[in-house]
Amino acid sequence: MGMLHTRVCDLFGIRHPVLLGGMASGTTPELVAAVSNAGGLGNHGVAGRSPAEVQSIAARIREGTQKPFGLNLLLFMAGEDAVQATLDAHAPVFSTAWPTPEQDLAPLFARAHDAGARVVHMVSTVPEARRAAEAGADAIVAQGTEGGGHVGVMGTIVLVPMVVRAVAPLPVIAAGGIADGAGLAAALMLGADGVLLGTRLLATPESPLPESYRQAICRSDGHDTLLTELPDVIAGRVWPGAYARVLRTGFIQEWLGREGEVRADRAELNRRLQRAREAGDVNNGALLIGQDAGLIDSVRPAASVIESMVAEAEELLTTRPAWVVSPTAPTPLPG
């Protein structure tokens, strides 16, 4: 059987076209190193971290792996200090998402290139993809609404081929709702050169989530997520163009539609969410996950997730065509 190999493998110097989403609240240096050591591209979210923290995160990743990895910034909340600290860490990949409409991406991407990094930018719409391609990104992540955390409203199966056409010949990486080998194979068939995973890699022993939160991902059937601005209203953030996909916990249920009251009591609600996470209390907390939770039924090491996903995709891409494409012309229907 052949081995999956795409242009993003060459672009990033990785074995498998599988990326870890640079999740600000969902990555650890251990998870990043595990993904990179497994042949994927680990990616650490550093949004909201101080320059000293960014430096120490990069150092801890380098203790765990010699392989390429990325650092991710949420552009709408990244000041000059954060950008400089991230570039100074000299990660092989500079990964970005969610700029404000006013931000000028071209000088930022040029600075990253000058620092020796590849630039990968995540979008949720076709115009955002064109904007990033024109600004000089090396690859575009097209993220559909199925995904966990902050997402737009277009579905992955529609957005990916549209972005592929809009930015050709730039490589596109599909994200949102992908958690198994069938998802990887399907993304490649849509024209993507790889996939980026969030939720699937939160259900690993290397993720920063408490064990009960990881188990909640396994329990979720994927029908119990919803889009809301509640986490951002509570955090006091205005996120350009996004809603947060969260698990419908008791806490979310209680405050949904009551944003005005939430704004009046943000500090207390922040404390409640923090306490719930420390206590491993999912129902009184907030858990950002995607619909693909319905495809995830066990907490497994990141390396095992990536190996089985790639093996399943290779198997499907090799065997399935023979099942669905007849070698001879089909027999005409009677009548």
Ligand X SMILES: Cc1cc2nc3c(=O)[nH]c(=O)nc-3n(C[C@H](O)[C@H](O)[C@H](O)COP(=O)(O)O)c2cc1C
Binding of ligand X at residue 313 (CB under 6 A)? Answer: no
Q: Where are the beta strands (DSSP E) in the chain?
A: 18-20, 42-45, 69-74, 93-97, 118-123, 139-143, 149-151, 172-175, 194-197, 225-228, 243-247
- The interface with ligand X within residues 190-209 (CB under 6 A) comprises 196-200
Rounded to the nearest 5 degrees, what angle is found at the Cα of 211, between the Cα atoms of 210 and 217? 100
Residues 17-56: x where in contact with ligand X by CB under 6 A, - otherwise, as a string: ----xxxxxx------------------x-x---------
CA–CA dist 229, 232 (Å, integer): 5
Q: Does 180 interact with ligand X (rule: CB under 6 A)? A: no
β-bridge pairing 194-197 and 172-175: parallel
Smallest gap from residue 256 Cβ to ligand X (A) = 19
- Contact flag: residue 228 with ligand X (CB under 6 A): no
Contact 90, 38 (CB under 8 A): no
Verify binding: residue 284, ligand X, rule CB under 6 A: no
Q: Between 65 and 143, whose beta carbon lies closer to ligand X?
A: 143
288 in contact with ligand X (CB under 6 A): yes
Q: Label the pairing between strands 18-20 and 194-197.
A: parallel
Using CB under 6 A, which of 176, 222, 231, 285 touches ligand X? 176
Between 33 and 286, CB nearer to ligand X: 286
- Beta-bridge mates of residue 79: none
If one asks whether residue 143 binds ligand X (CB under 6 A), the answer comes out as yes
What is d(CA 315, CA 309) in angstroms, rounded to the nearest whole number?
10
Residues that bind ligand X (CB under 6 A): 21-26, 45, 47, 72, 74, 97, 122, 143, 146-149, 175-178, 196-200, 288-290, 292
